[in-house]
Structure 1
Amino acid sequence: MYWDDLQAAAEEETEEAIEKEARGDLKLLLETISSGSGDAKLDKYFKSRKSNMYQKTVTYETLWTIFPPGTLVYGRFFQGEDQMLLIYDNFRVWPRQDDDDWSLLAWTYDWDGRMFKRSPVKLSIESFEGQKAISSLAFFPIHFHDDSEGVKQRLIERGRRFRHYCTTKDADRMFDYEGQAIFEQRGFSAAQGDDDRDEDASRSSQYYRIRRLLWNYRSATDLSTSTPKPVNIDGRVMIDFESYFRYGPAFARIGTLKLEDDFDECGCHACRQNNPLREKFRTRFDEENYQRGEWHDEQHMLCPPRVLGYILREKQWAQLQVTSLKNIPENDFQNSWSERLVLKDGQLTKNIILKLVSSHGTKLDGDKSQALEVDDIVANKGKGLVILLYGPPGVGKTTTAETVAIATRKPLFSISVANVGDEAKKVEKNLAKIFSLASSDEADVFLESRGQGVANNVERNSLVSVFLRVLEYYQGILMLTTNQIAQFDVAIKSRIHVAFKYEELTPEQTLAIFDGFLKPLDQKGLILNMDSIKEWLTDDVVKMKLDGRQIRNIVTSAVGLARAEAIGETPKLTQKHLKVMVSNVKEFKDEFIAAFERYKTSQSGSRAQN
């Protein structure tokens, strides 16, 4: 591709004697090479060059001619999304027909959690026979694209979004996400099993670099043989590159492309002082003033189509499409809290929890709020907020944690013993890692009262001690939920800042929860005779003392039943559908209670005999 540029330079007029001589020498050199270079491959190339360029085709052996260093290339490496890369160099000039593929090294402009920088990726084209349209290659120079200017404008707009998402403040990193994502690694399991990566080592240190290289080497086989599969996601995500690298995979990918960690650009004096070379490779993009100031269009165009983050519901580290991220609607923050969460005392408990969670870790009025702060005798101790929600299942404990997280724009990480382990020597390390990311669900397994004289109590006591110790130094918000408060260790009382008791649902709460599920359907015209359903719920269903989960299951199952019966028509939910599911739940509930009573009776008889 540079041949035309060289010819133009040779023909350019100049008055400078030295420059005139140089251009004359260049012209002579080009004529000599094109008329007979002595290299069979090169001579063959020049014979077909004009024809190939006119037809915009290329052979496998001449791929190198269309990818000179500094070329902007177009490809779709991540879920069919447009992407632009900058060519740095090839691994071998002449592709050989017996090779499986021919590879290039290119740059993307990525974020590593601290800074934007050019990041190298390896590109490959599989061997092929005969001629091939350049635009049909897996990637090709952008000027061969039929809509190159349109692509550039779209990439600039997406690059602006990428920059915004990467540099947004911690409190604003949570977004709605609807689209495909690529799962890389399950979140908390990564934190548990990764004993080889030390979270205390700085990512910029030599120590961390060596560990990353070893990890990448160990993972190389898996990377080369596995193809990431996209998964449809509709939920909340957190954009967090730094935690992704720290607790998720040790490597970064863009779809199937793996970023090369072991590449270093030449830093010799000659290369550093070679301004045309620096311009060709956009070296200036790595400089701090180029990162922080007004960006060049090419900086935006070279940004990848994905960000790295965490999917809250699935507990998965993932590659996320930039174009599938959406700001969470303002009314969503308020509606979930004010309308969907129904507690017995109305707004009292909700207001206390909301204010405590909202104010924790927030500077309300510059630095003035810091004056009203209690310091522990020991530095960094007692800075967290621990809220205990206790009561029977299905009465709103977990829903409280979920909705207050939405209302305060804070991410909610739900953890249980399965995420932390049950061996004391591992629990402390795992808790520290998890707490550094972020509610603990069903905390009773960690906080049961420590006992004496029982063989398995040694491990149990160690678990409790470890949990309490880590809790002392946790500086975030921890919401504990349990229905086993009688078994809590006595020491937990002093670690809990505020506790709220949840009782069985009142008739008013039951009706309000049903209404929360049914009202949106009724507003869409998907329910027949809502007034009749409300009357039936008030007269009959509230007497069953259902819990919140049972109510949700009744409505969702009834909707499924209505959908199955609506063949070729718009499904409508009716009282009949709800009655079928309520009857089923009641029958199971009665049988469960009877079976449990029989079990208790048999256990009492066994103890009496002993």
Structure 2
Amino acid sequence: QESLPERIRIHSSILLAILDKIHGTEISKDGDAVVMLRPFKALTLYKTQLQDWYSKLERKFSPRVEEEGSTAQAVSSSEKLQTPTSDTQMTGVETEAPSQIENTVASDTHDSKQDEGNYLKEHCQRVSFVDLWHLFRPGVEVVEPGDKQMQCYKVISVTSPRHKVTPRYLYPLFRNKGKGETAVSVHCVYIDFDGSLIGPVSKRFEIPRYEGQKDVKSLPVYPLSLVKNKDTIRQALIKRGDKFLKVLRVGHMHYNGLTLEARDEVDSQVVVDFGEALANREDRKNEDWKPEVQLRAELEKKPKEKDDGEGCNADCCKGDNVHNDNYVDEKQYEQFLTNLLADTDEEENPASLAVLARILKQDKAISVTDDDKVIMSHRVFAFVLRSRSWVDLEEYRKKQEKERPAEEKNENAFDNLVFPEDGLDRKTIVRSLVAQHFRDKESGATREEQSDIIRGKGKGLIILLHGAPGVGKTTTAEGIAELFNKPLFQITCGDLGTTAREVEAALETNFALANKWGSILLLDEADVFLARRTPQDFKRNGLVAVFLRVLEYYAGILFLTTNRIGDFDEAFSSRIHISLHYPALDYDSTIGIFELNWRLMKARFAHKGRTLDIDTTKITGFITNYWHTEKNARWNGRQIRNACQTALALAEFEAQGTGEEGARNPDAKVRLGVSHMKTVANAYLEFIKYLQDVRDADQERYAYLMGIRRRE
């Protein structure tokens, strides 16, 4: 393709008169010829109007138009654009105008637009600085090179410096050394959410001046249309935008990946909540997180380039007027916004989010086009339930938890809970209480009804689970949260502080979040706050008093677990809706938990396409003998899980080889036998006997003597 000229000189008074009418003011000063410089912004802007003039005059006068010959040569030679030297009547001017408009449009703007079109094709590799204006036009979608998150932006305006036309021999004398030609500024927007508004966020990319041509993909940004597999990537961006819209309202999901800022590993349930994450609170270091969402897309203001008004004094263009076309950038921007706002309606056809922000309403769906979804933000803000911290996450790594009714009988942690048969159906009790609480909350009954003579009290559900370690207390809370598809907000005493003031503030914050998200709150090992008060310990008394007061006004579901029920303060008895004792495992429940762990291990191996053979008959015989002979060293549920995992590790190491350099045969068949279980049992017995020697009592007797709990 032939290169474009650096300048076009228009002598024709006919064309200048028409351009004056289109432009609205005089382009030529005192009838002087006008020089238009590459990238010919004005001619590109007015191309449609020039073509309209041509069509109108052609229909009116039907002039003879030369269709042969090179239009590019017609522009490069001023002799081929001869115009009348004397004033003519308008009719005479209009008669000659079509042929001259045709030459101008064909030569001056057609090639420019053709050049622009080529830039946006996949085979475009390099671009000169002066032609960047054609590469980045309003509406073009752009990405940054090397951006792993592939954040896409939409160009709303591009401003390029005015080319300096100065003779070479005068350049050293008149050059302002402190001010060179400025960079090309590409003004873009992407769509983000600040907790209440979803709309455009501005970002400006600067491209410093360079000589010659440059690889397009080495620029700070380049068009998405030039990306390899652009259609596939664009569809992926649209899907990501859909996900972003779904989680704008508070959402509970699972995330497996790295955080964006700290690059910490996260494999946990998270709650996406922009409003809480971006709130200006002392307990969060998120000052730079909040995006500056604009009500209407605006450009970042830059100092205007001073126009000295001087034309070129060289012989080639002496007496010409160099047209300052910087106004085109602002006109294009306004036209772009006007086009996006045309024929919009707040209800049925709302304006693009790239232009106008909207208030997000929790109970109302939002209508968004695919063009807007492409430029949605790639990150969300969420609360990691496991680490209890606010983080920024990559949107595409989240998996939303599937909703399912509580009555569904699919296998889950709650259904797999194993308890001794003592006549108390703990699972039914917990399931019923939690289900009824959520039903009342969803129906709005708790807002209208009062269960206490004092307004605001007694709206929550407080459940105390107590018993020896490893009997299923924590798993009950985890399982019921999974069953009802609710986030489990787990906190410990260490998260709340050590003074009454710290504890009160932390409790109120965590209780408010848990209630807002519909979470099931678990205060694990709540011994510090449940312990009885004594006259001598003012600090502990303050903690217990604060906890008692906050507990009474909590409106959500709270599980408290403890294995030190003997230290229980009597004031808690009336504030807890139900207390469930979890007894030690009997023989049947012990065997049941072993079988559950074997089933889970086999399922995990099958998922990897591997084979696991478990000698269940001999292992069951060993467990039976162990349970009857070692009455003071029986395993609880957690110890059974750990024993199974340890025995499996021994068996897998044996199957893959004993070398230290790594797994020699990672797909080898693994056989878990009784010898592996005996090894684990012997190690545990040695530890238990050591503790008994130190305490001069077995675990249950020691807990009884310390006043912690009764003997099982």
What TM bracket, shorter-length normalisation? 0.7 to 0.9
Q: How does 1:179-578 map to 2 (within 5 A)?
A: 179-182=256-259, 228-229=262-263, 231=265, 233-246=266-279, 248-251=284-287, 259-260=291-292, 276-279=336-339, 282=352, 285-287=356-358, 292-328=365-401, 334-345=410-421, 348-363=425-440, 366=443, 373-438=449-514, 439-452=522-535, 454=536, 457-523=537-603, 524=606, 525-541=611-627, 543=630, 544-565=633-654, 566=656, 567-568=664-665, 569-570=667-668, 572-575=670-673, 576-578=675-677
Cα distance change of structure 1 residues 318 and 529 upon mapping to structure 2, 3 Å threshold: same
CA contact (8 A) 2:151 2:377 kept: yes
Cα distance change of structure 1 residues 334 and 249 upon mapping to structure 2, 3 Å threshold: farther
Amino acid at match of 2:648: V
CA contact (8 A) 2:297 2:356 kept: no
Shift of 1:119: 2.6
CA contact (8 A) 1:333 1:406 kept: no
| 2:34 aligned partner | none
Distance 1:495 1:230 in 2: 40
| 1:604 aligned partner | none
Cα distance change of structure 1 residues 532 and 399 upon mapping to structure 2, 3 Å threshold: same
Residue 176 in 1 paired to residue 212 in 2?
Answer: no
* Structure with higher RCO (Cα < 8 A, 6+ apart): 1
Residue 87 in 1 paired to residue 87 in 2?
Answer: no
CA contact (8 A) 2:199 2:294 kept: no
CA contact (8 A) 1:121 1:260 kept: no
CA contact (8 A) 2:127 2:213 kept: yes
CA contact (8 A) 2:198 2:358 kept: no
- The normalised TM-score by structure 1 is 0.73
Q: Which has the larger radius of gyration?
A: 2
Shift of 1:166: 2.3
Secondary structure (helix, strand or coil) at the match of 2:462 reads: strand
Cα distance change of structure 1 residues 536 and 157 upon mapping to structure 2, 3 Å threshold: same
Farther off after superposition, 511-520 or 4-13: 4-13
Higher helix share: 1
| 1:207 aligned partner | none
Shift of 1:175: 2.4
**Structure 1 segments unaligned to the other structure (5+ residues):** 36-44, 184-226, 602-610
Shift of 1:560: 2.4
CA contact (8 A) 1:70 1:280 kept: no
Residue 588 in 1 paired to residue 687 in 2?
Answer: yes
Aligned equivalent of 2:141, options 68, 72, 85: 72
Report Cα offsets for 1:443-489 as digits up to 9, x if no partner.
1112221111x2xx111111111111111111111111111222122
Amino acid at match of 2:257: Q
Report Cα offsets for 1:315-343 as digits up to 9, x if no partner.
33333343333344659984224542112
CA contact (8 A) 1:120 1:259 kept: no
Cα distance change of structure 1 residues 117 and 274 upon mapping to structure 2, 3 Å threshold: same
Distance 1:289 1:548 in 2: 47
Shift of 1:387: 0.6
Cα distance change of structure 1 residues 284 and 545 upon mapping to structure 2, 3 Å threshold: same
| 2:48 aligned partner | 9
Secondary structure (helix, strand or coil) at the match of 2:240 reads: helix
Farther off after superposition, 382-391 or 315-324: 315-324
Cα distance change of structure 1 residues 445 and 528 upon mapping to structure 2, 3 Å threshold: same
Cα distance change of structure 1 residues 365 and 73 upon mapping to structure 2, 3 Å threshold: closer
- The normalised TM-score by structure 2 is 0.63
CA contact (8 A) 1:308 1:317 kept: yes
CA RMSD of aligned residues (A): 4.5
Report Cα offsets for 1:492-540 as digits up to 9, x if no partner.
1111111011122212222222222111223534133233222322232
Secondary structure (helix, strand or coil) at the match of 2:558 reads: strand
Secondary structure (helix, strand or coil) at the match of 1:362 reads: helix
CA contact (8 A) 2:200 2:296 kept: no
Count of residue pairs the alignment pairs up: 523
Secondary structure (helix, strand or coil) at the match of 1:299 reads: helix
Cα distance change of structure 1 residues 379 and 451 upon mapping to structure 2, 3 Å threshold: same
Cα distance change of structure 1 residues 492 and 135 upon mapping to structure 2, 3 Å threshold: same
Cα distance change of structure 1 residues 230 and 121 upon mapping to structure 2, 3 Å threshold: farther
CA contact (8 A) 2:129 2:213 kept: yes
CA contact (8 A) 1:71 1:87 kept: yes
Amino acid at match of 1:440: L
Distance 2:143 2:270 in 1: 29
Distance 1:574 1:342 in 2: 23
Secondary structure (helix, strand or coil) at the match of 1:422 reads: coil
Aligned equivalent of 2:198, options 101, 111, 116: 116
Cα distance change of structure 1 residues 381 and 371 upon mapping to structure 2, 3 Å threshold: closer
Secondary structure (helix, strand or coil) at the match of 2:635 reads: coil
Report Cα offsets for 1:100-141 as digits up to 9, x if no partner.
x99755322223333422233465779999744213445312
Aligned equivalent of 1:154, options 236, 240, 252: 236
Amino acid at match of 2:142: V
Distance 2:512 2:142 in 1: 40
Report Cα offsets for 1:342-369 as digits up to 9, x if no partner.
12247711111111112224348856x5
Distance 1:398 1:60 in 2: 65
**Structure 2 segments unaligned to the other structure (5+ residues):** 1-38, 58-89, 164-177, 300-329, 342-351, 515-521, 657-663, 702-712
Cα distance change of structure 1 residues 425 and 127 upon mapping to structure 2, 3 Å threshold: farther
Secondary structure (helix, strand or coil) at the match of 2:525 reads: coil
Distance 1:572 1:125 in 2: 60
Amino acid at match of 2:488: L
| 2:31 aligned partner | none
CA contact (8 A) 2:383 2:390 kept: yes
Secondary structure (helix, strand or coil) at the match of 2:686 reads: helix
Distance 1:464 1:421 in 2: 13
Amino acid at match of 1:550: Q
Cα distance change of structure 1 residues 98 and 6 upon mapping to structure 2, 3 Å threshold: closer
CA contact (8 A) 1:384 1:475 kept: yes
Report Cα offsets for 1:380-433 as digits up to 9, x if no partner.
222111111111111111111111111111111111121100111211111111
